[in-house]
Structure 1
């Protein structure tokens, strides 16, 4: 047991949970900032663009802009700007929805699928590098514990 954990056990559980939350938040922000920089340097891209492309890669048939915004938990305006740039670069296309002249789907183009596959492989490598000190058993425990938190709230 580390010295930090010994001191932690002397505190009420509510304080321990608060400290846990702060550590999770610091770690998440640290890794997210590293990923932002790696995407910027390696692909001249941003994390929001990566997230949009990832969602479209998982939904190859395409998504309406409102669905994309909802899935990513961001405003339609934010997604529209990203999609406009991805369309200009040839990574995404807009497709009319049959039977609804006002609705369009957005989906990755073949060029977008190829680019995202390249980005996703690097993203996985970067995450693996940042979390290399966590072994397989610990990974399973972390996933189980964090899943409990989400299940409790929903």
Structure 2
């Protein structure tokens, strides 16, 4: 199956907008008033959008914990509308689950001035960075 980078970029922009928070960074807030923190969080949201059956299972699990009928109704609608068979977008499977590199899709959004991806490395023993994506005013 051929990759569609533009479709990936649109899907990520939707997810970034849905999960954004106000940007409190003094030097960035005037240009990018919103920020989305965490690449793993974005990967998880992307997974649920691409695999609606797993999203429905998570909603059912949350319903069992808290008893919220709205979550059960959303899960029921996912299955009744045929979402899993109609809207599943395959992902590359790695050692610890589904993973899709975000760089190409984020680069498409960045070149149009919609976002600015940034990786910050924490000064700890591990060298893993926290990825933030700054969002332009819609």
Measured against the shorter chain, the TM-score band is: 0.3 to 0.5
TM score, norm. by length of structure 2: 0.39
Larger strand share, 1 or 2: 2
Larger helix share, 1 or 2: 1
TM score, norm. by length of structure 1: 0.35
Higher-RCO chain (CA-CA 8 Å, sequence separation at least 6):
2
